[in-house]
Amino acid sequence: MAAEALGGLALGALLVVPPFLPPYFLEVLISVMLFGYLGAAWNILGGYAGQFSFGHAAYFGIGAYTSTLLFLRFGVTPWLGMLAGGVLAAAFGLGAGYLSFRYGLRGPYFSLVTLAFAEMLRVITVNTKAVGSSLGLVIPNREAAPANFVFAGKLAYYYVILAMVLAAVWITWRVARSKLGYALLAIRENEDAAEASGVDVLGMKLRAMAISSLLTAFGGTFYAQYFAYIDPTITFGPSVSIQGLLQAIVGGAGTVLGPLVGAFVLTPVSELSRAAIRGRAGVDVMLYGLVLILVISFLPKGVMGWVSRWR
């Protein structure tokens, strides 16, 4: 009962407070939401199915580039472009996933191959003039055009990403309570036992991959529209992949709220560290590394795992 009340209060705050926040805090909150969203998307494949992808940047990048290119070259509204990007990313994810799972890649080998796929996409993008190569793509003309996913102030973007986060959390919750959710947990725990118990391991993993890659791609489109600039390193680079998994691991992989909680923990760490040591790039990521080590060592089930011991 207390948990529900707390949750309702938090949700209310997220809905009502932001219009009154100073711009800096609103920006940070948007970052929290975006990272939490990416974490939630990763969580379905990584936390629930136990397949630790180190290359989710592939889907983020496909989403970002697809919607942006459709918009810049053909005037297609990014709202539709987002869907197109999602479908493309899901197709890529299913392809990469099918190859990996069908050939029995598990654990670290799966992680490495996903990393390789993301890197391949990055290298291809860097070397393709038609998509801007390493100069990237700029979305010009920042006049408000909601139909084209361009808003005047940051507040609107905040509500968009909030809606996306809530949707992602809801989807995670529904999956967790479904037959698919149970199957994914079984796969995470013991693939062979799951297979012997009638779980279509390959099929279920692919399902998780499809959902995960689709959602991640939507995040890529949001990023493109919010920041109005993308390039191969930002979108296909390892830092995006790491950001996603970090939120989920720290917050609690395999839990519904874990990624969002993780984002609320990590983003302040990042902001505070950068404020404390100005002018030195990398302080925040350095702390991320430290936090990751500490979480794995002392709180392997993340914050939510630790919280659940008290309930």
Partner 1 sequence: MTLLDVDCVTKHFGGLTAVSRFSLSVAPGEMVGLIGPNGAGKTTVFHLLSGFHTPTEGDIRFKGVSVVGVKPHAICRRGLARTFQIVQPFMNLSVLDNVMIGAFNRAAEVAAARRRAVDVLDFVGLGARRDVPARELTLPDRKRLEMARALATQPEMLLLDEVMSGLNPTEIDEIIRLIRQIHAQGVSLLIIEHVMRAIMALSQRIVVLHHGEQIAEGRPQVVARDPKVIEAYLGDET
Partner 2 sequence: MTADLLLQGIVSGLLLGGVYGLVACGLSLIFGVLRIINFAHGAVMMLAMYTTYWLFALCGIDPYLSILITAPLFFLVGMLIQRTVIEPNRFAAEHNQLLLTLGLALFLENLALVLWQGYFRTVRPTYAGASFMVGEALVEVPRLAACGAAIVLAVVLFAFLRTTDMGKAIRAVSEEPEGAMLMGIDIGRIRAVAFGIGSACVAVAGALVTPFFYVAPDVGESFNLMAFVVVVLGGMGNFVGALFGGFIVGLAESLGATLLPGSLKQLIVFALFVLVLLLRPAGLFGGGRGR
Footprint on this chain of partner 2 (rule: CB under 8 A)? 50, 52, 54, 99-100, 103-109, 111-113, 115-117, 119-120, 123-124, 126-127, 238, 242, 245, 249, 277, 280-283, 285-286, 288-293, 296-297, 300
Comparing CA positions, the residue from 156, 169, 218 lying closest to residue 11 is: 169
Residue 300 touches partner 1, criterion: CB under 8 A: no
Select the residue interacting with partner 1 from 123, 145, 163, 193 (CB under 8 A).
193
Residue 310 touches partner 1, criterion: CB under 8 A: no
Measured in degrees and rounded to the nearest 5, phi and psi for residue 301 equal -95, 15
Select the residue interacting with partner 1 from 128, 134, 190, 239 (CB under 8 A).
190
- Number of neighbours of residue 105 by Cβ within 10 angstroms: 17
Residue 195 touches partner 1, criterion: CB under 8 A: yes
Which is nearer to partner 2, 127 or 178 (by Cβ)? Answer: 127
Amino acid at 302: G
Binding mask 135-174 for partner 1 (x = CB under 8 A): ----------------------------------------
User: Which does residue 286 bind out of partner 1, partner 2, none, counting CB within 5 to 8 angstroms by kind?
Assistant: partner 2
Comparing CA positions, the residue from 90, 118, 51 lying closest to residue 212 is: 90
Contacts of 60 (CB under 8 A, 6+ apart): 38, 216, 217, 219, 220, 223, 235, 236, 240, 241, 244
Which is nearer to partner 2, 142 or 280 (by Cβ)? Answer: 280
For residues 218 and 38, give the distance between their C-alpha atoms in angstroms, rounded to a whole number.
9
The DSSP H or E segment spanning 86 is helix 78-102
In the block, tokens 């979480």 appear at 295
Residue 197 touches partner 1, criterion: CB under 8 A: yes
Residue 14 falls in which region: left (phi positive, over 0), alpha (psi -120 to 50) or beta: alpha
Which is nearer to partner 1, 50 or 232 (by Cβ)? Answer: 50
Residue 296 touches partner 1, criterion: CB under 8 A: no
Residue 177 touches partner 1, criterion: CB under 8 A: yes
User: Which does residue 141 bind out of partner 2, partner 1, none, counting CB within 5 to 8 angstroms by kind?
Assistant: none
How many helices (H) does the chain have, and how many strands (E)?
14, 2
Enumerate binding residues for partner 1 (CB under 8 A): 177-179, 182-183, 185-186, 189-190, 192-202
